[in-house]
Structure formats: structure tokens, C-alpha cells
Amino acid sequence: MRKGKSLFITFEGIEGSGKSYQSRKLYNNLKKEKIPVLLTREPGGTRGAEKIRELILDDYFYPNNIEKFDKYTDTLLYLAARNEHVKNKIKPEISKKKNIICDRFTDSTLAYQVYGKGVDKNLVDSVHKYILGSVKPDMTFVLRVNISKALQRLKKRKKKNRYDKFSKNFYIKAQNAFIKIAKKNKKRYFIIDNSSDSKETEKIIFKRFVDKLNK
């Protein structure tokens, strides 16, 4: 493997797609190979960003409260968490030449907030221009899943947040958005069907990573 080269890898997909599981699998496989790697997530990744995550993913404090965050408030909280994450973790680790695996990144904001909830893309792009700078993923795995399979996986979760409780139609819309985004840049994105609980997905992802690292 090429010395001195490192990659920023992101995993994207709807709830129940298995992206968090596959993120951990890739992390563990790289650790076994003694490849320097960091596993992080969004929203979150730093102490401040994790605090914002708690606010975002909470069911707005009271289950029966009809008052909810406006979609722009929601989006700005995500972007605030990302700013903390990029500034205090991602940029410093990139400068150290460490491989980074991130469970969700900017594509989730586009799929959920822009395509899913109708937030103005210009707002998101404008904020990203200031908080990301030159930071962008080298490779993104988009995990596609049969929606019924995803819902089955969600039912098994002992602890759920509000993003695990969206309608089937919303998940379909979000997944279609991820696929649309990925198809615009086939050099960076890899769409992988993860409907079956197979170890093949893990092997494919690891091979893709190694191939990219050795280029």
C-alpha cells in the first residue's frame, strides 16, 4: 500500500441501509491491517457536535408537543454540527495523513433536507462553501436497500430516534436522492446493494478502499 497517502471515506444511505454497520466493518478491517484510521459520524464526531446531535435527534423534547423545529432550523443545526466536526476533527486528522471513515456527511443533508424536505439548496451550498473549504470525500459508498428490508431492520432497533420513524414514502424519496447524487459522479461514488445480510458487501467495500489507496 502506498505510504503517505490517506483517504477521506464517507458512507451514505437511509436508515436501515446498514451504513453504520459497514462503516465499523471497514474500520475494523483496516485496523487489522495496521492502516491508520479514524471512525467518526455526523451529526456528531466532537463533543460540541454530539451535543447538537442530541438536540437534532431528540423527539423535540415532548412526544405530544405539536411544536416542531422548522426545516431551516433543523438544517442549520446540522450545518452547525458539521462546522464543529470539520474544524475540530476532520481537518486536523487530514493534516496528519490519517484515513477517515465518516458515517454520513454532506450528501445526507442534500438527500434529507434539500430533496426530502425542500430546503433551498443555495443556502446549504453557501454555508458549505465557508465551513468546508477544500474538504471533500475521496470516495463515498452509497448503500442501497430494499425499503421493506430497511423497515424490518429498523423494527429490531431497541433505541430509536425520530429519523427511524419516518414514513416509507420518505425513505423511498431519500434513497432515490442518494442514488441521483451518486450517479452524477461515478468516479467518487459507489452504489452497493446491501439488502441481503451478506459478508460480500464488506469484502467489496474493503477491496474498493484498497484499490483507491494504491492508485
pLDDT at position 91: 97
> Domains in the chain, ordered, with CATH?
8-213 (3.40.50.300)
Given a contact cutoff of 8 angstroms between Cβ atoms, the answer to whether 142 and 189 are in contact is yes
Q: CA 15 to CA 166: how far, in whole Å? A: 9
pLDDT at position 3: 57
pLDDT at position 57: 81
pLDDT at position 166: 78
- H-state helical runs in 4-146: 19-32, 47-57, 71-85, 91-95, 106-108, 121-132
pLDDT at position 160: 75
Question: Which residue numbers in the chain have pLDDT < 50?
Answer: 61
At CB < 8 A and 24+ separation, what contacts does 166-169 make? 166/15
pTM: 0.92
Range list of β-strands (E), the chain: 8-12, 37-41, 99-103, 139-144, 189-193
pLDDT digits (tens, 9 = 90+) for 28-86: 999 999 999 999 999 999 999 999 999 888 755 455 666 678 899 999 999 999 999 99
Q: CA 100 to CA 90: how far, in whole Å? A: 8
pLDDT at position 156: 84
pLDDT at position 61: 47
pLDDT at position 112: 93
pLDDT at position 188: 96
Given a contact cutoff of 8 angstroms between Cβ atoms, the answer to whether 121 and 114 are in contact is yes
Backbone angles phi, psi at 192, to 5 degrees: -125, 130
pLDDT at position 72: 95
